[in-house]
Amino acid sequence: MAIFHKTGHDDLHRERPSLGDWLNLRTGWYGFVQKNLDEPMPAGVGWWQTLGNLLLTLLVFQFVSGFMLTLYYVPSPDHAHQSVSYINNRAWMGSIVRGIHHYGSSFLVIVIVLHILRTFFWGTYKKPRELTWVFGVLIFGIMLAFSFTGYLLPWDQKAFWATVVGTRMVETVPLVGDKLVVLVRGGHEVGALTLTRFYAIHIMALPLALMGLTAAHLYLVRRLHIAGPVTKQKGKPVKFYPTQLFRDAVVLLVAVGWLLVLAYLAKPELGEVANPARVDFTPKPEWYFLGLYELLKLLPPQLESVGTFFIPMGMIAGMLALPWLDRSESRHPAKRRWIIDVAIVTILGIGILTLKGLLS
């Protein structure tokens, strides 16, 4: 790189350039990195703005650990449980890799929820960042779909019966529910085709969708830059490097450190192999679906579709339309009372139902 700075592009052809200079001449990577390191951060930007980079890092961990698991995993009812057991108990570092993937999915949900809440309360979904918010909400939906499809793959009792309950909700969709559940399951019951379909969606369709949405989200973040606090802070903008980069590094090290320690100390559980004949098993979904699960238990059977379809679809539609529902010009929470009140009631409701599910 020293040659590049001293002599410029033309001299790279006369003096033998370093590998860095050779790559820079063809890709422009140095200018790209330098531009991002020099990006001015509005005064008041701090630790909450580290969540985006943490999400990206956790996604990389999920992709790498997921790829390593596919080297041993066999997506068939006859071998799925056996292959996961081999990974858990016999493969070199298998339990740690599975632990990273297993606990990493919960870490991702926690971080993306915090990221969404920070964006919401700071009002940064407002003009001109409406599409940035929409892509973020779609990414959140993809994350939940990853969790739902991945839950079945160990093919143990817990995974099987939770999927039976989860896919049964699809049946309550008005007008097309009967056909939709057959499409999702690959038949009328959860079985071999359900497993292969979930596996294909988990490792092919969802990663492609996530990469596209993440690329669009990052492009808009880079184009529109990070929004500052809701009220303008005193002080001049500072460059991303070194202050904000230092915060990012601290948060990444702490979060990834926790994930690795957890994966090392607590081997992910694997129950008995799935047995469709044992109908006495009581299913329980992962913690991030417990709120919906508890809501369904409270509703009478004739209102089941309200809990399984209308409320979830209403919440998704509300989140996607949020930038156009909230017409206030101010980003300050005190000047967006109705939307803040609705959000707090919703958050409390989900939190209480989730806590009820965890304690029951």
Give pLDDT tens digits for 252-296.
999 999 999 999 999 999 999 999 998 888 888 889 999 999 999
Give CA–CA dist 59/54, Å, rounded. Answer: 9
Confidence bin at 12 (pLDDT 50/70/90): low
Taking the whole predicted model, whether its pTM rises above 0.85 is answered as: yes
Residue 69: predicted pLDDT: 98
Average pLDDT on 1-7 reads 47
Provide the pLDDT for residue 162. Answer: 93
Residue 72 carries which DSSP code?
A: T
Interval 165-190: pLDDT, tens: 999 989 889 899 999 999 999 999 99
d(CA 95, CA 116): 31
Q: Tell me how far apart the alpha carbons of residues 285 and 162 are, in angstroms, rounded to a whole number.
A: 6
What is the average pLDDT score of the chain? 93
| Dihedral sign of CA atoms 256, 259, 263, 264 in order | positive
| Site of tokens 């679906």 | 289
The pLDDT value recorded for residue 121 is 96
The fraction of the chain above a pLDDT of 70, given in percent, is 96
Please answer whether residues 149 and 290 qualify as being in contact, where contact means their C-beta atoms are separated by less than 8 angstroms. Answer: no
pLDDT of residue 191: 96
Q: How many residues does the chain have?
A: 360
Angle between helices 94-121 and 130-151 (to 10 degrees): 150
List pLDDT tens digits, range 126-143: 999 999 999 999 999 999
150 contacts 105 by C-beta, under 8 angstroms:
yes
Q: What does the pLDDT look like over 38-86, one tens digit per residue?
A: 999 999 999 999 999 999 999 999 999 999 999 999 999 999 999 999 9
For the stretch 229-246, pLDDT in tens is 998 888 888 899 999 999
User: How high is the pLDDT of residue 18?
Assistant: 85
- Tell which phi-psi region holds residue 206, choosing left (phi > 0), alpha (psi between -120 and 50) or beta: alpha
All domains of the chain, ordered by start, with CATH? 42-281 (1.20.810.10)
pLDDT of residue 236: 87
Q: Are 189 and 276 in contact (CB under 8 A)?
A: yes
CB within 8 Å of 350: residues ≥ 6 apart = 291
- Residues 6+ positions from 312 with CB-CB distance below 8 Å: 292
Strands (E), the chain: 40-41, 238-239
